[in-house]
Amino acid sequence: MMKKIWCLFVVLLCLYCFAAKAQQKCVMKYKGVDRTYYLYKPDGLSEGAPLVLVLHGYGGSAAKWKQRMFEVADENGFAVCYPQGEKDAKGKTCWNVGYPFQKGLRTDDVGFLCALAKHLQKRESLSHDNTFCTGMSNGGEMCYLLAFERPDVFAALAPIAGLTLSWMMKDLKPSRSVPLMEVHGTSDVVSYWDGDPDNRYGWGAYMNVPMAVAFWAAQARCTHEIVERLPLLEGRNQVTLHNYMGGVPAWKGGPETQVRLYEVAGGNHSWSDKDMDTCAEIWKFFSIYLR
């Protein structure tokens, strides 16, 4: 009995130590404001390792991290950073992506995330070339905004349940093609698969998901689409991968720019990690663009 209790104690202690390490709070001052983030580095991480930023959704918390991403980081040797968004006029933590109710919000999140990436690259000896970003919902919208405005900082992006707001399409012009993947449920009732061109739900007008992804495939000058079904998990939703391929090189002499859409049939507003191994798929995509 004592042996079992001791084993349980050791397991709990290991889990506690892992959680404490993963949730260590760090602060970086940006434009006079203390901005918070959490950084996870696998043991023995090599100098010049890749970096993945993970952005929470509207009203979310960077402290509510996904352990699966840390497991994928351990398996593949990259650092993970969870930045914290600031509060808006409603008192909700967010990323400033130009929602109608964010009018007047002065938070420069594009600048912050780019500065954070460079800060971590220097302070933690991480790769300048192999820096990536993914995000859920509002964090997904920020991924699209970064694709428009700062593809020089992020080698590839992966919005999850994210939207391309209509104002982005009207006011912004991509400086170059961007490797990008989107995971989205067709029954999402927060970020509608079919879009909201008339702003019925208050987030601002936005494009339907297939059209938004097709825009980036066109930017990359992809020549063809390969469609495949991911293995169906028992009792879960079918995921279909639309992979737009044959795009221009991501950099001179580099791999082609691919754009992917993971269509989760009947999926809701979520990370879709019950229907697929989302974190592993994100890294599988990002790893194509390692230099």
Task: Please report the pLDDT score of residue 58 as a whole number.
Answer: 98
- Class (C level, CATH) for 26-289: alpha beta
Residues facing residue 83 across a β-bridge:
37
Mean pLDDT of the chain: 93
Alpha helices by DSSP H, the chain: 2-22, 67-76, 109-123, 138-149, 166-171, 209-219, 278-286
Q: What is the pLDDT of residue 65?
A: 84
Strand partners, 52: 80, 132
What number is the average pLDDT over the span 111-120? 98
What whole-number distance in Å separates Cα of residue 150 and Cα of residue 67?
28
Give pLDDT tens digits for 149-179: 999 999 999 999 999 999 999 999 999 999 9
**What are the extents of the domains in the chain?**
26-289
pLDDT, tens digit (0-9, with 9 covering 90-100), for 35-68? 999 999 999 999 999 999 999 999 999 998 888 9
3-class SS of residue 144: helix
Taking residues 8-34, report their average pLDDT.
Answer: 64
Q: Is the pLDDT of residue 19 over 80?
A: no
What's the pLDDT score for residue 23?
54
Confidence at residue 163, expressed as pLDDT on a 0 to 100 scale: 96
How far is the C-alpha of 121 from the C-alpha of 89, rounded, in Å?
32
- Residue 25's pLDDT is 85
DSSP H or E run through 259: strand 259-264
Give the pLDDT confidence of 240-252 residue by residue, as tens digits: 999 999 999 999 9
Could you report the per-residue pLDDT of 180-217, keeping only the tens digit for each? 999 999 999 999 999 999 999 999 999 999 999 999 99
Question: What b-and-e string marks burial along 249-262, b requiring 16 or more CB atoms within 10 Å of the CB?
Answer: ebeeeeebbbbbbb
Q: Binning pLDDT at 50, 70 and 90, where does residue 24 land?
A: confident
* pLDDT exceeds 60 at position 5: no
pTM: 0.92
Check residue 11 and give its pLDDT. 36
Instruction: Provide mean pLDDT across the span 18-42.
Output: 84
In this predicted structure, the answer to whether residue 10 has a pLDDT above a threshold of 50 is no
Average pLDDT, integer, range 238-264: 98
pLDDT band at 265 (very low <50, low <70, confident <90, very high): very high
